[in-house]
């Protein structure tokens, strides 16, 4: 009886070993492929891009005691370059320089009582250059809400023509300030698009115009100009820092 029990135990042991060996020879199923997570989105880096949109201007010209206001609008377009740095928590700081040409050109007639005739004011805004710092918040990966402000330089010219004579010819680069804001969307790796609005104030410029009659000894020539822009654009970005997430 004891021999039979021992024989059964030996047979069971051999059977178990054989089954384990057979199982070891079977091919094993490869683990399911898990793709790596996409890299975190970061605004840290520099960029260069282009923009297009509209510009809306307002100018006041005071000549020989008469004030003439000119509202105008046109197209604006150009490019921008800048850099950003994103802190942990979503805050982004940066700077940008934008240079745009414009199509703003407007003429308006007025009556000059000092001369007793009708005159014409002609104004042009050729281009603007805005250097701004900006502060933004990335409220969700890939989206940035920002405000900005800084200095603006604008190439303008204003001429006053009365009785065949032209006063002014004051084509110069004026300096002022600008402020605005917008939203930017990183729609693909290294690419973002933005929509923004900005306001520029160029202050007062005083000139002295000479001519016949009341302006023989000189007439005060004062101009004041403001402008607003609505722009859309696209940027190509390259990073130089790690994502803060």
Q: Write out pLDDT tens, residues 74-95.
A: 999 999 999 999 998 899 999 9
Contact yes or no for 50/79 (Cβ under 8 A):
yes
Residue 50 is encoded by which pair of tokens? 């282009």
Cβ neighbourhood burial of 100 (10 Å; 0-12, 13-18, 19+): buried
Helix (H, G, I), strand (E, B) or coil at 133: strand
**Between 228 and 243, where is the model more confident?**
228
Domain ranges of the chain: 45-238
Residue entry with tokens 């001429």: 159
Topology of domain 45-238, CATH: Porin (2.40.160)
**Structure tokens given for 68:** 């003439």
State residue 44's pLDDT score: 95
Asked if 142 contacts 185 with a C-beta cutoff of 8 angstroms, the reply is yes
Averaged pLDDT of the chain: 80
pLDDT in tens, 172-192: 788 999 999 999 999 999 999
Backbone φ and ψ for 3, nearest 5 degrees, come out as: -65, -40
Measured distance CA(222)–CA(195) in Å, rounded: 34
Quote the pLDDT of residue 160. Answer: 74
3-state secondary structure 191-212: EEEEEEEEEEEEEEEEEEECCC
Residue 29, class by beta-carbon neighbours within 10 Å (0-12 exposed, 13-18 middle, 19+ buried)? Answer: exposed
Q: What is the pLDDT of residue 72?
A: 85
The bridge status of strand 91-112 relative to strand 66-86 is antiparallel
The more confident residue out of 18 and 200 is 200
């Amino acid at each position: 009886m004891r021999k039979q029990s021992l024989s059964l135990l030996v047979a069971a042991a051999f059977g178990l070993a054989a089954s384990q060996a057979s199982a070891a020879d079977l091919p094993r199923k490869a683990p399911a492929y898990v793709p790596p997570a996409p890299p975190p989105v970061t605004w840290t880096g520099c960029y260069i891009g282009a923009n297009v949109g509209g510009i809306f201007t307002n100018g006041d010209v005071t000549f020989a005691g008469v004030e003439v206001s000119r509202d105008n609008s046109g197209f604006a377009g150009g490019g921008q370059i800048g850099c950003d740095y994103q802190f942990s928590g979503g805050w982004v700081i940066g700077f940008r320089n934008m240079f745009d040409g414009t199509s703003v050109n407007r003429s308006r007639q007025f009556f000059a009582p000092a001369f007793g005739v009708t005159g014409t004011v002609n104004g042009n805004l050729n281009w603007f250059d805005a250097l701004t710092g900006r502060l933004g918040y990335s409220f969700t990966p890939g989206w940035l809400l920002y405000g900005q402000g800084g200095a603006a330089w604008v190439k303008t010219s204003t001429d006053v023509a009365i009785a065949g004579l032209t006063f002014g010819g004051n084509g110069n680069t004026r300096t002022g300030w600008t402020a605005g804001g917008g939203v930017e969307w990183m729609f693909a790796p290294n690419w973002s698009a933005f929509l923004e609005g900005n306001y520029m104030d160029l202050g007062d410029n005083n000139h002295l115009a000479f001519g016949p009659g009341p302006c023989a000894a000189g007439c005060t020539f004062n101009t004041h100009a403001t402008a607003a822009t609505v722009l859309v654009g696209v940027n190509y970005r390259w990073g130089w820092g790690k994502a803060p997430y």
